Structures are given as C-alpha cells and as structure tokens.
Amino acid sequence: MIQIKSNVNLALPEGVLWNSSLQCYEFVDIDKGGFYRFFLDKNLLIKIKVFNSNLSWIFPCHDNINYICGAGNQVIIWNSIDDESTPLFDLDLFLDQRLNDAYIDYYGVLWFNLISSQPFEYESNGSLYSYRAGLLSLEDSDYFIPNGPIVTIDRSRMLHSDSAKGLLYSFDYYNGKIDINSKSIVFDSSNIDGSPDGMCLDGSGNIYIAMWGLGEVWMLNTSLEISKKFSIPFKFVTNVAFGGKNLDRLLVTYAEDQALDISGGLYLLEGHNAVGLPSGVWQI
C-alpha cells in the first residue's frame, strides 16, 4: 500500500477515473466542489478548478476538452479551455439533496444518483436516473445514499448500492436498460460497520468495491461472491479505479476522518495482480 503525499487538503474525494488521453487520474472533491488530476508517473496532484457548488462527478468527453459534470442541481457540459459551462438539465431537488456518483455504460448511457435529503433515518427520496439521447428517466427510487452503479463485464447485470442501508443490489441489464422487477440483493452489510460505496471492474470481470467505514476494498468474482478483502489504513474509503500506462495500478480514494483530524487522500493498492478496463467517455 502506497500513500500519495500531497499538500492538497481533501474532504470527500470521489468519482475517480483514469483519463487515458492525458495519462492521469481525475477525481472530484464533492464537498469542496474541486476537480483534480493526479499524474501517477510524476506523483503530482493538481487542483484544476473549484466549482461554485458541490461537484459529485465528472467525465471527459471524446474531444478531451469538454467534460460532463454533476454540479449542484445541474448536469452540465464544462469546457476546460474556456472555463465555460452549458447546462444540459436542472433537477428539482429537496433541501439537502444532491447528486451522488455516476457511471457511463457500454452504450453511452449516463447513470447517476440523487442522494436522499436529511435526515436519512426519515427520508428515503434518493433515486437512480439514466440519461440517454437527451432523455432523462427515473429508473429506481427509495434510496438513502445510492452509490455505484456499474455493469458487469458480460453486460448482463447492473450493480447498484444503498450505502446507508448497507445493501448491494443487482438488476438484469440488457442493451443499456435495466429490468426493475429483477432487483435482488447481492450482499447485506447492514450488520457491520461498513457499507458499499464506489466500484470498478478489472479485465477478468472481478468487481472492486470501496467499503466505507471499514477501511477495506472488497473484490467480488464473476459469480458475485466475495473472494478477497484488501485493507486500507483509513476508514472512509470512497472509490477505486484502475489506471496507469498498462491499467494495472489501482487507486483508492478515502474521505476525511474528522474524529481523528485526518484529511481525505489517495492510496495505491498493491497485491491485486489485476489489469483494469478503460473508463467511460461521454459522447457529445
């Protein structure tokens, strides 16, 4: 395990992905609205921009100039050269509700979450949306803190979690669509102090899940069985992504621990012996 040393103070780093064109990791700090790049070969972490709102996720577009972003109550296209933003659509959010986690699938569909309004014990108005060909669709609801989603390597299932409930769900998936009636529970971690957060795949179809509160990354095999657990020396693990020239480096993000006065940060997880898959790119 290799900790990334940096002078950048992070609170809730999330949404990490590998930008193969720029040869760097990119991620957001949701609470601070920050967009960052980490150049692995130089061990260099750079703050690129601070948005005037929460920044929940960001994906590069095919031109490597524009990005699609979940910022505040909007999904926008941000031009990284001109620093100009074009809204795609607004979302009518409840008080304290916000965007949370996203994924671009094999068919170019954007899947993203809305986190439930506070307090979580009483409101379950979190939800899962899809956006394709200019059409916004509500796919599923009754979530507290939805995370993921991700599609299995055989394109037969979508996995999606509710971190507050400690549940990882599976949906039948075909051609960029899910069957809501097929929803089932893959595993239930509600009886422990950890919950499933961000996810990624390796080239063999194994699924790596950041386990918030446990300081672990769990690996599920293609049968969706837990086959390995990797320890992280910080509790609040948020996301994982393969990167590097050969996609064989696994970067882990973790959030700040206010009780221990520890800021959020980045770790490289070693010993996985796996190669990942390219990250999603948005087609304008």
Query: What is the length of the chain?
Result: 284
Mean pLDDT of 12-35: 97
According to the model, what pLDDT value does residue 193 have? 87
Sheet holding 13-19, edge to edge: 13-19, 24-29, 34-39, 44-50
User: Any residues with CB less than 8 A from the CB of 64 and at least 6 apart, and which?
Assistant: 19, 21, 22
pLDDT tens-place string over residues 136-185: 999 999 999 999 999 999 999 999 999 999 999 999 999 999 999 999 99
Q: List the one residue out of 38, 44, 40, 13 whose CA is nearest residue 26.
A: 38
Asked if pLDDT for residue 36 goes beyond 70, the answer is yes
269 vs 1, more confident:
269
Asked if pLDDT for residue 278 goes beyond 80, the answer is yes
Mean pLDDT of 52-59: 96
Task: Yes or no: say if 223 and 204 are a contact pair by the CB < 8 Å rule.
Answer: no
Mean pLDDT of 55-69: 96
Mean pLDDT of 123-148: 93
According to the model, what pLDDT value does residue 116 have? 87
| CATH code of the domain made up of 2-269 | 2.120.10.30
pLDDT tens-place string over residues 201-237: 999 999 999 999 999 999 999 999 999 999 999 999 9
According to the model, what pLDDT value does residue 96 have? 81
